[in-house]
Structure formats: structure tokens, C-alpha cells
Amino acid sequence: MTVAVLTGIAFALVLCVIVAAARPRGAGGLSGRSVADRAVPPWWNGAAITSEFTSAAACLGTAGFIATRGGPMLWYPAGAAAGFVVVLALVVAPLRRSGAYTLPDFAEWRLRSARLGRFTVFFVLVIGLALLVAQLHAAGVVVRLLTGLPPWLGWAAVAAAALVVAFAGRLGSVTSAQAAQFWLKLAVFLGAGLVCWWVSGARPIAVLEAAYRTGDAGLAGAGDSSLPGVVTVLVACALGTMGLPHVIVRVYTHGDGRGARRSMVATQAMLAVFCVVPPLYGLLGRVHVPGAAVDEIVLLLPARLLPGTAGEVLTGVLAAGAFAACLATTGGVLAAVGGAVSGCVSRAAVSSFRTAVGAVLLAAIGLTALTGPGTSVALVLLGFSLSAATFCPLLVLGIWWWRLTDVAVAAGFALGGGVTAVLVACEQAGVKLGVLFSHPAPVAVPAAFAAMIVISLVTPGRVPRGVGRMMARMHVPEHLAGPRTYRSSLPSDHSS
């Protein structure tokens, strides 16, 4: 099995690097991190977005939760679809028209506050690190479980490949690599899952009946099969998607808001197809791999159903798909967070970006070494919850309400992020606060919205000048407005 697994992992790594390296470099500077002027077809961009969204947590962890925690976990994949509906309806086109490349750029432009822009970089970094650590842990699980090698080899392989992709051409390379990885993941996970289903001779209704069971909540409510737990996941995913740094930057792969909307529609269609994967493996895993750890069930399933060479080959194929999932999300997050951090720290171009990417990656590896495995879904959900409690209020109010002020946004970020941190810390410490405060998103999101609205109303003197022109810029269709000038932390760097 080791040979087949290592072959699958090597294939995923080599494919990622080759596709990224084949992407032509843009002109000098950091424009490749936003690809704002590149005409990427909506279906190709949609594949890239879906690829980085269907991370190792979605491919391995969600299926494991369905297998171990029961039928209510079938709602988890629905949260992704709900999130992109919200993004499509409220955010995509206005944000594209604003000309602000990153979330900190938007905060700085909309509120006319460079200090606020730097403050929001901290939250981009925290969310990005949570997502990166989740992917590195998943890679470690694959290597340790299927080969017996130390998990840090999996972290190192994913980190090295992601670094090559990011350095090769920033988001231009990442987009190509992620789109290719999506089709690889879809073929691998759907194909192998259908083979396992056929071999098992499973009857869907019987498997569904066997799958129901309750479980305790994990980090940020992950795996809680109670109604509050499921609602927490849906709220966090539906509202947190818009604040994920590697997702929202994709609105700039098109020249106008219409193209950005079409990408999101393509993303929803591809997500709908991929959402079949976690239930397929979860229902089979409940029957054929009882008692295994959450992140291990998918990887163990082929060998249980097909002992011998066929099972080894299928396991190697799944290992390739799992590494493709790790790489897709890692590459996107690394490029987006590295771009935001470099713009905050320095005005230098390529050197600043590469330094920031390296520093973020080293921090993620350090945190991975300090935390335990088996937490991929929980860490991703933590990132969603923090995003929902911070960037969601900023984007919704900043795009649709002209009275928003910089001090209100800062207070909302502090309150939403603080409530999330406190509730997660209490949960980890075993402190019981009751059902209402057991999960962060349903508490922290309303608190952040309320803080931003109330403080904005009592600080009318801090409404930025020219807010009317900014609102018009975001909401007037491109063909009725004048030429756009794009704003980023690195002005004069917008070539593609």
C-alpha cells in the first residue's frame, strides 16, 4: 500500500507544480495576487473557487462526521451552498466595483482609515492560519495513516508545493493549479466512492438508518448533532464565506461585476455536484469503518471493502485526491494572506510578498506542531465563525449602509472576535455556559452587527467624506460609470 500511496501523493504534488509553473508570469510587482485584469472564464474561475473551498476538511472531515455523528451532519455540505448564495446576493458585484483588492484594502478605502486597514490584517492572518493548520494536519494524517511515516513529512510536502505555486506567479499560478486540482478531486473522490458503493452492495435507506447517532460538540461547535450545533454550522458557513480571504479575492479575476457573478454561479453548480461526496463516504464509513477517527474513515474505506491490490490502488488514488485538496486550499490561502500582510507591512513588491508568504507558512507549520491531529473540520469551522463575526458585518454594512464609521468597525471587530475567542476558550476549558452560549457564531455575529450600527449612529462626525461617491461607485453598473482605478495596498501595481 505504501508504494501506491506515495505514488498518488507524488502525482498530486507534481501536477500542482507543473500546472502552476506553466502559467505565464504577469508583469513585475504583485498584481498576480489579485489578477484583477485577467479575463478568466467563469467556469474555470468557478472550478478554482470550488477547489479551494472543498478542502481536506470537506473531503475527509465532513464525511467522517457523517459517519460518526449521524444524519444531522448531512447539513454540513449545505452550509457551503448557502454561503455562496449570500456572497452572490450581497457582496460580489459591489465589491468588484469598489476596486479594493483585499479585505483590508476595502476597509481602508471605505472608511478612509489606514489604521483600520492594518487592524483588519490581524483577523485575515488569524483566519488564514486556522485554515492552513487544518490542511497541514490533514496531510499529516494521510502520510501517517497510510505509510507509517512521520506526519511532518506531509506538512513539509504540502508547504513546499504551496510555496512553489505562490512564488511562481501569485494568484495567477494558484488559479490554474486549483482549477486542475478540482477536476482531479472530483474524478478521484466521486469515482472511488462509486466503486466502493458498488462493491459494498449498500442499500441507501438501510445505511441512512444505521447512521444516526448523537455526539458531543468540538471546537466552535464542530460535530455537534443537536439542533443548536447544526444551526451554528449553517450560520457560520452562510455568513463566514464572504470573509474568507482566499475566496473573496476571486471577484477580481474578472473585469466587471457581471463576470464575477457568473463565477459564483458556476461555483454553486460545481459545489452541488461535489456535495455528493461527503455523504457518500460518510454513509459507507458508518457501516464498514466503525470506530475510526473522523479524518481517517475515508482513507480506510477502500482497504476494508477491497482487500488486496485493488484496495491498495484505490487507496493510492484517494491519497492523491486528499493531497490535491490540501494543496488547493493551502495555495489559495497562502497567496491571499501573504498579499494582505505584505501590503500592510511594506510597499515593496515581490520581495515583500515572498517574505510575508514565508513568514505565514512558518507560523502555520509551528502551530501545526503545537496542536493535535484530527481537528481539520473544527479549525475550518473556527475560521468561518471568526469571519462571520468580523468581516461579514464590515462587508454588508460597508456596502449597503452609508453611515458606517471607522471606530464602529474597529469596535465590532473587537467585540465579534473577542466573543468568538472567549466562547471557544470556555468550550475548550470545559466551562458550560448553556445552550445559547455553547457556540460562537449565533452570539458573536449579532453582537458585532449591533456594535457597528450603534456606534456608527453615535459617531456621525466620523462618516468619511465622499461616502456618496463611494456608494455610487459600488452600486452603479460598470457601463454607466466611468473608468475604474483600482486600489490596493500597493498602488501603481495592477498589471496582469
Topology of 2-373 in CATH?
Sodium/glucose cotransporter (1.20.1730)
- Per-residue model confidence (pLDDT) at position 64: 86
**Length of the chain, please?**
496
- The residues with which 487 forms a beta bridge, in sequence order, are 100
SS3 content of the chain, % helix, strand, coil (to 5): 80, 0, 20
Residue type, position 188, single letter: V
H/E stretch holding 361 reads helix 350-370
Count of CB atoms situated within 10 Å of the CB of 472: 12
- Per-residue model confidence (pLDDT) at position 135: 92
- Per-residue model confidence (pLDDT) at position 491: 39
Which grid cell is 218? 468540538
- Per-residue model confidence (pLDDT) at position 360: 94
Contacts of 365 by beta carbon, 8 Å cutoff, 6+ apart: 136, 155, 159
332, 174 in Cβ contact below 8 A?
yes
Which is nearest to 80 in space by CA: 278, 226, 221, 227? 278
Ranges of residues in the chain whose predicted pLDDT is under 50: 24-37, 211, 213, 483, 486, 488-496
245, 386 in Cβ contact below 8 A?
no
Task: Please give the Cα distance from 36 to 18 (Å, whole number).
Answer: 23
* Secondary structure string (H, E, C) spanning 253-267: HCCCHHHHHHHHHHH
- Per-residue model confidence (pLDDT) at position 192: 92
- Cell numbers 515581490 label which residue? 350
Q: Tell me: the pLDDT tens digits for 46-105?
A: 888 888 888 887 778 888 888 888 777 878 777 777 888 888 888 888 888 887 778 898
Phi, psi for 440 (deg, rounded to 5): -75, -40
Q: Tell me: the pLDDT tens digits for 5-60?
A: 999 999 988 888 787 766 544 444 444 444 444 556 778 888 888 888 888 877 78
Phi, psi for 100 (deg, rounded to 5): -90, 120
- Per-residue model confidence (pLDDT) at position 290: 84
277, 60 in Cβ contact below 8 A?
no
- The residues with which 100 forms a beta bridge, in sequence order, are 487
368, 140 in Cβ contact below 8 A?
yes
Rg value, the chain, Cα: 22
- Per-residue model confidence (pLDDT) at position 388: 94
347, 488 in Cβ contact below 8 A?
no
Phi, psi for 487 (deg, rounded to 5): -115, 130
Task: Please give the Cα distance from 371 to 119 (Å, whole number).
Answer: 26
301, 172 in Cβ contact below 8 A?
no
Residue type, position 140, single letter: G
Task: Please give the Cα distance from 163 to 220 (Å, whole number).
Answer: 29
Alpha carbon distances (Å) from 375 to 95, 169, 218, 367, 382: 33, 31, 9, 12, 10
Query: Would the CA dihedral through 171, 130, 145, 74 be positive or negative?
Result: negative
90, 308 in Cβ contact below 8 A?
no
Alpha carbon 393 to chain centroid, angstroms: 18
pTM above 0.85, yes or no: yes
Task: Please give the Cα distance from 24 to 20 (Å, whole number).
Answer: 9
Task: Please give the Cα distance from 488 to 476 (Å, whole number).
Answer: 21
